[in-house]
Amino acid sequence: MSETYAYTFNAVQRRNFKSLRTALESSNIQNIDEYAKIIFKKEKVDSSSFPLLNAVALTRWKIPGEQALEIENFVKKNGPFTVAKRSNLPTKEEVFNLNSHNKLRSLLRLRLKGGEYKYIKIILKRVHNGSTFLLLCAKILEIWGIPGGPALKLENFVKEILGVVPTNVVENWREILASKKFDNKDINIIINQKVDGSSFLGLTAVTLERWGILGGPALKIEKLVNEIQFAKKSALLTVKKVLEWNLQHLQQLREFLKSNYIDDEVIKIITDKIKGNNGSEFLWMNSIALDKWGIDEITASKIETLIEEIQGPNFGEVSIVIDHSNLSKQGQKNDIIKESYHKKNWLNYKRLQSDILNERKLGGFSEIFYPTYNNIDKLWAKYNQDFNLRPIEQTTKHYKEKKLDTSLAIRGTEIFDRKPGILAIVAGDSDFIPLVEAALKRGWKVEIWFWSSALGLSEEYVELSKNFEKNYSIHKLDDIFKPVSRINQR
């Protein structure tokens, strides 16, 4: 048995879980009544799983990204929750060697309680040994029909056993302060305030001065706390670190997967499939692709979850890219936009943007690509001043050319620098495929909006849906064309 730190039922009870739930339900988060029902009734989140709520899980439960982030922040602001030491936790080696249902049942009962015992039967239908148990994650448990709350607890339980629980605890803070030559009197003041390993990381100079510690030492302690927090954050595997992987660093990928008890045979399949020998190809993997490679459902979900944790949650902000020429020309070609009407009017991109957003939040960019031969006049440009207008210089009236490729390559580079969100592309030809692929591989969700009769122009858009089913969708622009309409010339 090993000692570890875990969120426990009693720890949250001491913070009055009932009042926390009431505070969340009465918060000013948009549609919180609806989302509270999902969290507490459908997903059965209780006092022991409440501290584990995070935006990744909440978006998986169909709560929009922006509200999911607000709920996650609510949980964080009401923490840190007291962390209790548990000495009856088995080691990962002990769990790995379990080979009977009775032993697995006893293990599950260390974390599940009373009414949750019924989920043990569901798990034991699919999990027959300890090595498979160590692959469990909330996502696969939810697929099996286990509500989100108990699923989060079991995912956290596996992480505790593996020793990767991000508890944000600095248990040896007294020794750290003493080694930095802080006065024993100041250390005793902090001790008398009942500071523990988790609340230590919330100390600020203002708080310390209020307790009677002089400004100089208080600032030094605050600086030390910030350094510890930075070190903890830097130790996490980030998108930036993964993108730096190359042929020489593939050993890091092997070690990362092995540390999460992924089988050697599976690791070989994955490393062999990474043709470019770099981390970006690892980041776009999902359970659909892994299943095609012959990797079992549990392992595939575990790997997909690990990738999602690296990428972070999709916050639901929508960025929009519009291909003006392609949109207008295909509309005329398919008799959706009348030629005479086209000459006297302009597409109402403000309404188009509004309908695509559908009350979602606009993200980092909203732009229109257009060819210079169109002679966009000042009135059109002024009306669309809220957009980033990107002219494409051309010598012919053929829209498909190198200038567009260059501009899209630049935009693709910028996407890699942003937090993944939703990218809505209004285009129908294959020029935008590289941008779509770049976004999908980086963890973005992509929406393609175009005339239904013109989607056949590029089968590549349809092909992408086979590999990125969860993060990729195609929408008919015809459904919103009437309200989009055109603006009259004045």
pLDDT of residue 16: 67
What value does the mean pLDDT take over residues 144-160?
A: 91
Q: What is the mean pLDDT of residues 185-201?
A: 80
Quick check: 269 pLDDT over 80? yes
| 8 A C-beta contact, residue 47 and residue 75 | no
d(CA 3, CA 440): 41
* Between 467 and 128, residue with greater pLDDT: 128
Farthest-apart Cα atoms in the chain, separation: 85
490 confidence band (pLDDT: 50, 70, 90): very low
CA distance 418 to 413: 9
Mean pLDDT for 382-404 is 52
pLDDT per position as a tens digit, 15-29: 567 888 888 988 888
Out of 41-45, 124-128, 143-147, 439-443, pick the least confident: 439-443
* β-sheet bridge partners, residue 447: 424, 473
pLDDT of amino acid 113: 84
pLDDT digits (tens, 9 = 90+) for 43-59: 999 888 888 888 888 98
| 423-463 pLDDT per residue, tens | 888 877 777 787 888 777 777 788 888 877 655 456 777 77
pLDDT of residue 84: 46
